Amino acid sequence: STGVFTGPRLLEIGGGPIIMYVAAACTRFPEIIFSEYSEQSRQSVKCWIENDKHAFDWSHRIKYICTLEGNGDKWQERSENLRCSIKEIVHCDVHVDNPLAPNQYDPFDAIVTALCLEAACPDKASYSNAMRNVASLLKPGGVLFLCGVLNQSFYAVGANKYWTLSIDEVFIKSAMTDAGFIDIESSVIPAPNPDGNNVSDFGGLIYITAKKNGQNTIENESAHE
């Protein structure tokens, strides 16, 4: 809402089957590339963009986001804005040097990734390498928005249990620094009930913004406009 972070192009890494993480970003970044490893998840997002009758209804979450911004009555306009802003839906794999291969793109102004790296990486070394691969897709001065889960080893969806890499705030920031990020700012929301939870053993959520070391392209471009 401050308008500090803006630019022409944003990439989502590991977006899953949902669109809520870019529903706010589309007001600041008119061109969005949505990337996800799972073909089924990519198809889910494509169905929503195409207004397919079988698509999941995200109106409740978009209304909520717009209400937080003070524009709750404009959620339908936001939905169409988001559909127009997502220009491509592509495969990604954070474990390869170019996570978007075989696609090639100019470096992005911003990247958003949420609940992805700790689910995709089996150990801390692969997490750090994935962070470097993600950083390679950013312009110098570009911004990374990251949402992660702290100290989680599993989460359950119904009867299915999924394992994740348990990491803490210190490690995440260290991996980001090693990948060339600066101006790292974080906010942590503790888990409401970290003990005795059969759905997840997570300790909290962390939200981080950081800039790729180098000239701040986003600010420079905004100054010229």
Q: Can you give the pLDDT at residue 192?
A: 85
Cα angle 167, 6, 73; round to 5: 95
Q: Cα separation of 40 and 174, whole Å? A: 33
At residue 217, the pLDDT reads 42
Give which of 125, 115, 122, 108 is closest to 211, Cα–Cα.
108
Q: Which of 52-61, 156-165, 209-218 has the lowest mean pLDDT?
A: 209-218
Whole-angstrom CA distances from 15 to 36, 37, 52, 65, 197 are 5, 9, 19, 17, 25
Kindly report the backbone phi and psi dihedral angles of residue 184, in degrees, each rounded to the nearest multiple of 5, phi listed first: -80, 120
Determine the Cα–Cα distance for residues 199 and 146; give it in Å rounded to an integer.
Answer: 22
Contact 213, 161 (CB under 8 A): no
pLDDT over 50 (residue 221): no
> Between 106 and 194, where is the model more confident?
106
C-beta of residue 42 within 8 angstroms of C-beta of residue 50 = no
The reported pLDDT for the residue numbered 222 is 42
Could you report the per-residue pLDDT of 208-220, keeping only the tens digit for each?
Answer: 999 999 854 444 4
Domains and their CATH numbers in the chain: 9-224 (3.40.50.150)
What radius of gyration, in Å, describes the C-alpha atoms of the chain? 17
CB 15 within 8 A of CB 22: yes
| pLDDT value for 220 | 41
- Look up residue 123 and give its two tokens: 């150990």
